[in-house]
Amino acid sequence: MTATEPTSAAAVAEDLVIDLKLDKLWYGKFFAVRDTHVPVTRGTVTAFIGPSGCGKSTALRCLNRMNDLVDGFRFDGSVHFQSRDIYHPTIDPVAVRRYIGMVFQQPNPFATTVFKNVAFGLRLNRFRGDYEERVEHALRRAALWDEVKDKLHSSGLALSGGQQQRLCIARAIATEPEVLLMDEPCSALDPIATRRIEELMTELKERYTIVVVTHNLQQAQRVADMTGFMYVDTTQGGRTGYLVEHRPTAELFADPRAEETRQYIRGEFS
């Protein structure tokens, strides 16, 4: 052991924002995910890739307790956010989502004004500061302010699909979370809007730690610092997802360690 190793280890521990350990996860009797351990470090974009049904979204939703809303959900393991177990009985799930925001696959603005959409989380968390300043700040960070500054009191549903997704991002970051989760955020968007969201992810990681689920391998290569490949185990007669490998994105795509990863990257299955 060299003299610099303890300092290096301490630095890694300090940068660890989320430590996801899913040993076993069920929805009722369905054994959904096993053996998935993913550390997420500060200021990075981590991507989950893999075929449909491998548990990518399930793993993502564990990170801010969205799976609590699914009947029969239970798991063995732990999810630590800044060294605190977010599944401890004393932890309020609503408080977790204040610090770990989420953007979903389909743009889902509320049927109200642009302003009220962004301010929703602020009101929910009883924010006592300047709402106009915070809403403008969130819209600017989501690269949407210039497009909607004259439409703040118009319906968010009147925006284009790409604008609606950026509005949802603004809503998620208005409460100043530490982590931003994105579940297939570009799947419903055209290529131009997709590119804008990707650029936005790169910009936002300077302030937020981002975890994204994507089926788009090129997108993972463009935006992610780390990538986890998940696959499906069918040997027990069911379909249980698990993590095959989790590595720096460039390394995983250039030289995958597992044959399943290599075949998936080559497009031999999807």
At 4, give phi and psi (nearest 5°): -90, -10
pTM of the model: 0.91
Q: Which residues contact 261 (CB under 8 A, 6 or more apart)?
A: 229, 231, 244, 245, 252
| CB contact set of 75 (below 8 Å; sequence gap of 6+) | 22, 23, 24, 25, 26, 33, 62
Distance in angstroms (rounded) separating the CA atoms of residues 90 and 88: 5
Token pair, residue 155, equals 């319906």
Output the pLDDT for position 14: 66
Pairing mode, strands 45-49 and 30-41: unpaired
pLDDT of residue 102: 96
Alpha-carbon distance 45 to 1, whole Å? 31
Closest CA to 175 of 114, 113, 94: 94
- The answer to whether residues 162 and 193 touch, using CB atoms and an 8 Å cutoff, is yes
* pLDDT score, position 13: 58
What is the model's pLDDT at position 114? Answer: 98
Tally Cβ neighbours within 10 Å of residue 133: 9
Both tokens assigned to 227: 């990538």
How is the chain split into domains, by residue range? 18-107+179-266
**Sign of the Cα pseudo-torsion (173, 177, 178, 184, in order):** negative
Which regions of 45-132 does DSSP assign to beta strands (E)? 45-49, 73-81, 84-85, 100-103
Residue 1 pLDDT = 31
Measured in degrees and rounded to the nearest 5, phi and psi for residue 144 equal -125, -15
pLDDT along the chain (270 residues), means of 10: 36 79 97 97 97 97 96 97 96 93 95 97 91 97 97 97 97 96 95 94 95 97 98 90 98 97 92
Structure-token match 């590595």, residue found: 247
CB 86 within 8 A of CB 96: yes
DSSP letter at 186 equals T
Domain boundaries 18-107+179-266, corresponding CATH code: 3.40.50.300
Contact 221, 253 (CB under 8 A): yes
Of 267, 168, 166, 180, which is closest to residue 215 (Cα–Cα)?
Answer: 267
> Which residues contact residue 269 at a Cβ distance below 8 angstroms, ignoring those fewer than 6 apart?
51, 263
